[in-house]
Each structure stands twice: as structure tokens, then as C-alpha cells.
């Protein structure tokens, strides 16, 4: 109930929700009532344990937390209510990936460099996921984007301070662990290299190695695929080192970039999962190969509309092809703060516009668990928990 109330309160007026209801004949307060009623039923189309594999920590911060931290640190913001600040941060219309990535600059300077804020956003993140029914989540972020020393250039126009990328990882791990204990779910993290900052990538893999047993399970390459398609040698070196050290690998590819970026992610960077990967479908040979390899696609429906990655008409979404082809994929929020969304909205969108059924939601969550970056024993336990929760435990009786 809490989630639904919160969503409805901040969600009305959002283009995503608005577009869910464009066929409504109602106007004014009656329409508001109808929308909210529609939401409260739509948002829980799959009210069962779920796995989420593609969500950015810095794209999943509570607006209230941004306001609180700004106040404590004396950082001026253009708004001081959740409603107003939400309107500033969220993407109002389908845009471009570049425009979307610019949204982080509205608030990252507030939390970056602040130990208390970083622990708090990690902890609250776990709480929010638990409330959505997620039992296992892999959350990603760039440690460099949250640091203010030992990072060149220092991001978000911060003054040099004393918080290094290394300590950022330590703080996020602490926040996630505290959240795990409080909310009884499992949370692991993925550290992001950034496409435009190849000089950070070796640091990132070293941090993955250092915190391999502290909750970090993989490396990622995020950022603007449309600016720089060829993986820089420094990204390549980092991924080679990751493979050599048994660090799992995912890469944002084929979100807005062409199929060649997906090919490179899989063949050169040895990605085990593809972040988004929608444009893989434009190269049928590549797609068939990846299907045959059981490659996992981390699909983010609401994100794909608002970043302009996919046609805004959800009935034409690549996830429909993935479903028909019984591909291996997950459903994820990506950046719920900026998309003003929840995981429930991604599921209800898949249900309403893409014909997803309860059976498919079960199947894709099991594939997600099987493609997660936990060690084998923990992975098996997770898969088993889902089988149990979905009433799919095979009888051992003869």
C-alpha cells in the first residue's frame, strides 16, 4: 500500500503515467481519481518475489533524501519540496540518452563526497526494493561519480575533499549490508566504468577485485554509447583483467548504439550479460547467435521509452520479441528516480501493452536468477526460493 500511495502522489502528471491513461475519457478530478485507481490495480500485476539486475544506485535516490542532504550541507537547490524537485529531476518526455544523462547533474553534487548521504542512499535503496517485492538485487554505480578525491577530474564541480572512490565502495557496501539485515533481502553491487572516462576503468576493476568478497559482484560499462562506440583500449584492459580475475561482466550496449556495440561487448569485452541490448534485433545473425548462447538481456521498459532508445509505442517493444523467442532477459527499472517510476510500473507496462502473463513473469524471474552474478551455491538457493514462491517446486516423491 505504501508504495502505491507514494507512486500515485508523486506520479500524477508524469508523462509515463499520463501515457498509460491517454485513452481515458475523464477529465479533472474524476480523471485523477480514475488514474489513481487504475494505478493501484495496475502496479501490482506481479505481486510475487522478484529479481532485479539492472538499476543504478545514483538513479534510484529518494527525492526527500536529496532535499534533506542539501539542507544539512547548506547546498542551495532550485526547489525545496519533493513535488517541485521531482518535476526538475524527472524526464518529462521521451528524450535522448544524452539529455537523460544530463539529469544526473541536477542532484549528484548534493550526495557526492558526503559519507552519511552515500550510506543512507544505499540503505534506503534496499528498503525501496524490499517494498517492491524484490528478493535479490544487483545495484550499479560509478564510485568515481560519488568521490571528491583521487578522481580526475573531480566530478560535479566539487571542491577537492577526502572521499576516495575506494571509500565510496566501502560506504555503499555498509549501507547495502545494513539494508539487507533490516529488510531481509539480498543486495549485491556492480561497479561502473564510464564510456567517456577510460582513465577510471583500471581503478574500477581494481575496486571490483578488492571488494569481491564485500558485496561487489561485477564490472559494468555505462554512459553515452552514442558518443563513443568503440571500446577504448583502457576499457578493454579493465575487462580483460576482470575476466582474468573471475569478476563477472556486463556492458551497456545496443541501448541506443548499433548492434556492432553489442557484438564488441560480447566478443571483445567478454560480457556475460548485455545492458539493454534492444538494437541487437537489427542484426539477426548476431541475435540468433546470442539466443543460442543464452545471452542475458537486461531490459528496462520505462527507461527505454524515456531515453528515446525504443519506439514510445510499447506495443512495438523489443521485449515482445524476446518473450516470443523465449530469450533470457530480466525486467528492470534502470533509473527510477529520473523516470519517476517503480518496478511495478515496468511490470504493469509489460502486462498491459506487451501481453506479458503471470507465467512469463515467473519464467523471466527464474532466468534472471539463473543469470545473476552470485556464486553458484547462492544462485541455486535463489532459484529454489523462486520456484518455491511460484509453486513450482518439483516433487521428490516417486
- Return the range that interacts with ligand NOS (CB under 6 A); candidates 38-46, 119-127, 135-143, 264-272: 135-143
Does residue 138 interact with ligand NOS by CB under 6 A?
A: no
Please, which of residues 29-58 interact with ligand NOS by CB under 6 A? Answer: 56, 58
Q: Which of 180, 255, 264, 298 is catalytic?
A: 255
Please, which of residues 260-319 interact with ligand NOS by CB under 6 A? Answer: 303, 307
Q: Identify whether the C-beta of residue 50 lies closer than 8 Å to the C-beta of residue 382.
A: no
Does residue 59 interact with ligand NOS by CB under 6 A?
A: yes
Match 524471474 to its residue by C-alpha cell: 365
255 in catalytic set: yes
Nearer to ligand NOS, 180 or 335 (CB): 335
**Cβ neighbours around 380 below 10 Å, total:** 13
Does residue 145 interact with ligand NOS by CB under 6 A?
A: yes
Residue in 193, 222, 251, 253 binding ligand NOS, rule: CB under 6 A: 222
- Beta strands 273-276; 296-299: pairing state: parallel
Does residue 200 interact with ligand NOS by CB under 6 A?
A: no
Nearer to ligand NOS, 335 or 360 (CB): 335
Nearer to ligand NOS, 104 or 361 (CB): 104
d(CA 261, CA 253) in angstroms, rounded, equals 6
Grid cell in block for residue 188: 549485491
Does residue 143 interact with ligand NOS by CB under 6 A?
A: no
Residue in 7, 103, 249, 252 binding ligand NOS, rule: CB under 6 A: 252
Does residue 255 interact with ligand NOS by CB under 6 A?
A: yes
**Which residues of the shown chain bind ligand NOS in the complex (CB under 6 A)?**
56, 58-59, 101, 104, 140-142, 145, 192, 222-223, 252, 255, 303, 307, 334-335
Q: List residues with catalytic annotation.
A: 255
Amino acid at each position: 500500500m505504501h508504495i502505491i500511495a507514494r507512486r500515485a502522489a508523486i506520479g500524477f502528471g508524469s508523462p509515463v503515467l499520463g501515457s498509460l491513461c491517454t485513452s481515458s475519457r475523464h477529465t479533472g478530478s474524476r480523471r485523477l481519481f480514475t488514474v489513481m485507481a487504475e494505478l493501484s490495480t495496475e502496479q501490482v500485476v506481479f505481486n510475487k518475489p522478484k529479481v532485479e539486475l539492472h538499476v543504478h544506485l545514483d538513479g534510484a535516490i529518494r527525492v526527500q533524501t536529496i532535499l534533506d542532504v542539501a539542507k544539512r550541507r547548506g547546498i542551495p537547490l532550485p526547489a525545496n519540496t519533493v513535488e517541485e524537485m521531482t518535476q526538475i529531476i524527472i524526464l518529462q518526455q521521451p528524450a535522448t540518452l544524452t539529455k537523460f544523462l544530463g539529469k544526473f547533474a541536477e542532484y549528484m553534487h548534493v550526495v557526492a563526497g558526503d559519507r552519511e548521504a552515500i550510506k543512507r542512499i544505499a540503505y534506503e535503496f534496499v528498503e525501496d526494493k524490499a517494498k517492491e517485492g524484490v528478493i535479490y538485487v544487483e545495484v550499479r554505480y560509478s564510485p568515481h561519480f560519488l568521490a571528491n578525491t583521487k578522481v580526475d577530474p573531480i566530478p560535479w564541480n566539487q571542491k577537492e575533499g577526502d572521499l576516495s572512490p575506494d571509500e565510496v565502495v566501502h560506504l555503499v557496501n555498509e549501507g547495502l549490508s545494513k539494508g539487507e539485515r533490516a529488510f531481509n533481502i539480498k543486495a549485491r553491487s556492480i561497479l561502473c566504468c564510464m564510456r567517456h572516462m577510460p582513465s577510471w576503468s583500471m581503478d574500477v576493476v581494481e575496486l571490483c577485485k578488492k571488494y569481491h568478497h564485500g558485496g561487489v559482484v561485477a564490472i559494468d560499462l555505462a554512459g553515452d554509447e552514442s558518443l563513443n562506440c568503440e571500446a577504448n583500449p583502457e576499457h578493454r584492459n579493465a575487462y580483460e583483467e576482470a575476466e582474468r580475475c573471475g569478476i563477472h561482466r556486463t556492458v551497456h550496449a545496443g541501448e541506443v548504439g548499433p548492434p556492432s556495440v553489442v557484438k564488441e561487448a560480447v566478443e571483445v569485452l567478454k560480457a556475460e550479460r548485455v545492458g539493454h541490448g534492444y538494437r541487437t534485433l537489427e542484426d539477426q545473425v548476431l541475435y540468433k547467435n546470442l539466443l543460442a548462447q543464452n545471452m542475458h538481456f537486461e531490459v528496462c521498459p520505462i527507461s527505454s521509452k524515456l531515453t528515446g532508445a525504443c519506439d514510445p509505442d510499447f506495443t512495438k517493444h523489443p521485449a515482445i520479441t524476446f518473450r516470443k523467442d523465449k530469450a533470457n532477459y530480466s525486467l528492470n527499472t534502470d533509473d527510477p528516480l529520473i523516470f519517476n517510476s517503480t518496478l511495478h510500473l515496468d511490470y504493469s507496462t509489460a502486462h498491459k501493452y506487451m501481453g506479458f502473463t503471470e507465467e512469463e513473469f515467473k519464467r523471466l524471474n527464474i532466468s534472471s536468477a539463473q543469470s545473476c552474478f552470485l556464486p553458484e551455491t547462492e544462485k541455486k538457493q535463489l532459484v529454489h526460493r523462486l520456484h518455491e514462491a511460484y509453486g513450482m517446486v518439483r516433487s521428490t516423491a516417486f
